[in-house]
Amino acid sequence: MSITFGNRHSFASPTFATSAGTATDPTVVKFYLREHVDGTELEWTYNAVPVAGTHYPTGMQPITRASAGVYAVAYDSRKPERVTGFWVGTGTVYDALQETLFVRHAELALLDPPSS
């Protein structure tokens, strides 16, 4: 997947669930983001009342909870590069999910063929 530099992408968590399939909130939900060009690694921790610099990096968006076991982070791309997001839920339930996307310069979108 790719997005254009300066746009927002929503990293969605897996649906954290029990072995019976019931959506359940983990005790701890973390999201890690790696910006590959310079090796920057950022960490988020879900909190119902998030504090910038404590639960998520200053200048970024906090983790939001949509419903039991379902979370998301809105990421504003800061530079053209490859970015990998990794979710980890631990405690009452455990699951993990990784997603990689490519952030492109806006001018490169002009080279793409028109979509039909």
- Phi-psi sector, 39: left (phi>0), alpha (psi -120 to 50), beta: left
Q: What is the per-residue pLDDT for 21?
A: 93
Q: In what order do the strands lie in the sheet with 81-90?
A: 2-4, 95-104, 81-90, 28-35, 40-45
Q: What is the DSSP letter of 54?
A: T
Range of weakest confidence among 57-61, 65-69, 74-78: 74-78
Token output for 33: 């983001």
Range of weakest confidence among 20-29, 40-49, 59-68, 78-87: 78-87
The CATH code of domain 2-107 reads 2.60.40.2820
pTM: 0.84
Spatial contact of 93 and 32, defined as CB atoms under 8 Å apart: no
